[in-house]
Amino acid sequence: MGAVSNNDPQAQQWNKEYEEALKELEEEKKQVAMAEQWNKVCENDVNGRFWWDQPIDDMGLEELEEYVRAMEELKKNVAARENELTMANDHFGNQNMNHHLDLGVNGFSLENVLF
């Protein structure tokens, strides 16, 4: 069997299928990463409260600095997720979707967060 030409329709079809499979794999990796992040959040749930619900009154300076860094990271992650959802919404042409982002966590929504 000889070399396959880039002009070969079968090779082009295989390349297309390969590219689509790679895209699907990347999306699956993102989903796994998000699930792992969510599991981490749930593992850190202490006494039915998430880390961001913990009182800060008794925290020392180092703990407060770490808390601020974590809140900034959370803010960045929420904004990135909102951007992903907006892009997906735009991609699929569903312009009627309400852009209110509700993560389903203790009534948390972007409308309730002061950045």
Give domain status of residue 13, yes or no.
yes
Q: What is the mean pLDDT of residues 78-101?
A: 72
pTM, entire model: 0.42
Q: How far is 53 from 48, CA to CA, in rounded Å?
A: 10
In the three-class reduction of DSSP (H, G, I as helix; E, B as strand; rest coil), residue 102 is classed as strand
Helix boundaries (H) for 1-115:
9-43, 61-91
Cβ–Cβ < 8 Å for 36, 42: no
Does residue 13 surpass a pLDDT of 60? Answer: yes
Residue 111 within any structural domain of the chain: yes
Summarize pLDDT for 40-87 with one digit per residue, the tens: 766 665 566 777 888 899 899 999 999 999 999 999 999 999 998 888
Domain assignment present for 102: yes
Total count of domains within the chain: 2
Q: How confident is the model over 3-25, as a mean pLDDT?
A: 86
- Residue 17 forms part of a structural domain: yes
* 61 shares a domain with 24: no
Contacts with 95 (C-beta within 8 Å, 6 or more apart), sequence order: 89
- In terms of domains, do 37 and 70 share one? no
C-alpha of 51 from chain center: 19
